[in-house]
Chains A and B, each alone.
Chain A
Amino acid sequence: MTMAFSANLLFDLEQMFQYQFMQHAFEAGTLVAIIAGIVGYFVVLRRSSFAAHSLSHIGFAGAAGAVLFGISPVFGLLLFTSVGGVGMTVLGPRASHRDVQIGTVLAFMLGLGVLFISLYSGYATEAYSILFGEILGISSTDVLVTAIAGVIILSIVAVVYRPLLFASLDEDVAEAKGLHMHALGIIFMLLVALATSIAVQVVGVLLIFSLMVTPAAIAQRLANQPWRALTISVIVSLTATWLGLFVAFYEPYPVSFFITSIVFILYLLARLVYPKIRPQKAHQTGFHRITQGGQRTFLETKIVVAQHVNNSPGNVRIGY
């Protein structure tokens, strides 16, 4: 497919959305980008990117099995990633020392995937689309399934938001406060399993990092408050998905290539350029907003401190 790109963006988009496959691609892509951006933030915060990576590979085995038995790959994905995720958590209860357990479960389930593929004769195109995503071939049923999964994921995140954040930041204190690390670990892995299963349609199992990990990693560099980081993470994955789809409409190369490239460029910018242009003391002015109720403003405080320094002969404790 070769379409001519014109300078009139509105016209381009109008032309693009005349194709139903592009509509579906944008709908599913948007849903997946939002979900991956949010779940990905917790993945990065918990340092569980190996788990996310492994779950997507385990999902490949599940999808291969589903194709073999003639059912929709998404069900195989869901089944295998959920079982795999719970298995990893049960075998390695502490999130920070789970690498070996994850690798063990991963290897076993990938072995199953190899078996399924060898049993299935016409695997080449199916396997390719599971590995690298096939967002341009999404049906309206797929969009519906993605939307339902998205609502489920976002509802769970909304409920466990604070405990999961607390447990991810400070496991020991959270446990002492009565939170159940094991239950939260399982809920988190199920979230990742669900998110991975639907993200596979867009970028495939091999490239899941580009939507689940890299946007959140960028966000974590740009913001130190969870809500801001979550917002940035979603914006980055949305930008990459939309831009990737847009470019791929005009170029004969795979969408997932464009998405991963855009994410990578944004990551490089966040790593190399952002530290040089970052506002140095921006975070220090933020907290004065809190003290404003009946207190001095930042400027007033500065003046008062300056007066103290000027007037008093002895030691002055400079504070607000």
Chain B
Amino acid sequence: MTMKTIQSIESPEAVQRQIVTAENLSAGYPDKIVWRDASFSFDRGELVAIIGPNGAGKTTLFRLLLGLQQPISGTIKIFNEPPKRGNSRIGYVPQRHVIDSETNIECMELVHLAFCGHLWGFHLSSKIDRKAAFDALTAVGAAELAHQPLCDLSGGELQRIFLAEALVSKPDILLLDEPLSSLDIRRAKELVQLVDSVVRSRNVTALLVAHDINPLLPYLDKVVYIANGKVAIGKPQDVLTSERLSALYDVHVEVIRDSRGNVAIIGIEDSVQADE
């Protein structure tokens, strides 16, 4: 109740804009807190990168938003409500590496099921369902893959299909867990461009977990850096500085930029190993 009164003081536009808000949020498991005291908000139409070392709790943030995990303390809200399972306004692409080579199912069927697979009973040939699936495939430039079996696709094509699977229910926020991890630099850049165009054209928010921030940098509105149990959030040029990260992590961190604007963060991930 107190949260509601606080928010009603804020301008209605700001509340409308905010898709995700978190205050003093700590996440993890009762016996092991992964990160603590994070406060942030993501607005409508923002492209946000979530970066940090393995096991730092990037996927944990997604599980909180999907309602698959509860916060240890603090609050997190999505669309102004606590997260709940089965929220159709969220499009989710989990971290995945391979599709089994025996899975001979056409792409359209997967996207189709993402649209209506949660419903009981069956509907032999719903034109609305199939059109929604086809539209989603068209939106990611994969219309010509509609009837290809999933097992025949390349890594880049698969990620486009997964994106279509997430988009088919017309979500307001996309959660993309390491979609770039199995792609080479060129395919990664193409996919980021695709995500960016989806974000701009549909005015959705996209949170994208990545290992390497560089393919994303030209498109980002915000970056979330998670490491050593702490979370840094802001515009990339504000967060990714030696001073800011050194102060947050209490170790000497160097953020190095090359002539093309590529960024390397040195010092944090080493110190994790030193701690353990």
Contacts and interface: CB of A to CB of B under 8 A. Distances in A.
Contact of A224 (B92, B93, B104, B165): B104
Contacts of B165: 170, 173
A290 B148 CA distance: 15
A176 B119 contact: no
A51 B121 CA distance: 25
Contacts of A172: 92, 94, 96
A159 B90 CA distance: 25
A271 interface: no
B114 A287 contact: no
B68 A283 contact: no
A176 B117 CA distance: 12
B146 to A, nearest CB: 4
Interface in B32-84: 66, 68
A29 to B, nearest CB: 26
Given A287-B134, A287-B143, A177 B114 contact: yes
A320 B117 contact: no
Contacts of B116: 162
A179 interface: yes
Nearest to B151: A224
B261 interface: no
Contacts of A320: 143-144
A162 B134 contact: no
Interface residues of B, number: 42
A178 interface: yes
B88 interface: yes
B88 A177 contact: yes
A176 B90 contact: yes
Contacts of B108: 287
Interface string A264-304: 00000000000000000001101100110000000000000
B117 A177 contact: yes
A226 B123 CA distance: 13
B130 A177 contact: no
Nearest to A160: B120
B96 A47 contact: no
Contacts of B68: 175-176
Interface size classification for chain A = 35 or more
B120 A220 contact: no
Contact of B121 (A47, A159, A176): A159
Contacts of A8: none
Contacts of A158: 121-122
B106 A224 contact: yes
Contacts of A165: 113, 117
Contacts of A287: 108, 134, 143-144, 146-147
A176 B69 CA distance: 11
B104 A47 contact: no
Contact of A225 (B85, B100, B109): B109
Given A162-B122, A166-B117, A286 B147 contact: yes
A165 B166 CA distance: 17
B138 to A, nearest CB: 9
A86 interface: no
A161 B121 contact: yes
Interface string B115-152: 01111111110000011001000000001101111000
Nearest to B86: A178
B139 to A, nearest CB: 14
Contacts of B102: 47, 220
Interface string A142-184: 0000000000000000111111011101101111111100000
Interface string A213-230: 000000011011111000
B273 interface: no
B103 interface: yes
B110 interface: yes
A220 B104 contact: yes
B109 A284 contact: no
Contacts of B166: 173
Contact of B119 (A162, A174, A175, A283): A162
Nearest to A157: B122
Contacts of B105: 45, 169, 224-226
A166 B105 CA distance: 11
A290 B134 contact: yes
A169 B119 contact: no
Given A173-B92, A173-B165, A176-B66, 7 more contacts: A161-B122, A162-B118, A166-B114, A169-B109, A172-B92, A172-B94, A290-B131
22 contacts: A45-B103, A162-B116, A162-B118, A162-B120, A162-B122, A163-B118, A165-B117, A166-B117, A170-B113, A173-B92, A173-B94, A174-B117, A176-B68, A176-B90, A176-B92, A179-B117, A224-B105, A224-B149, A225-B106, A287-B134, A287-B146, A320-B143
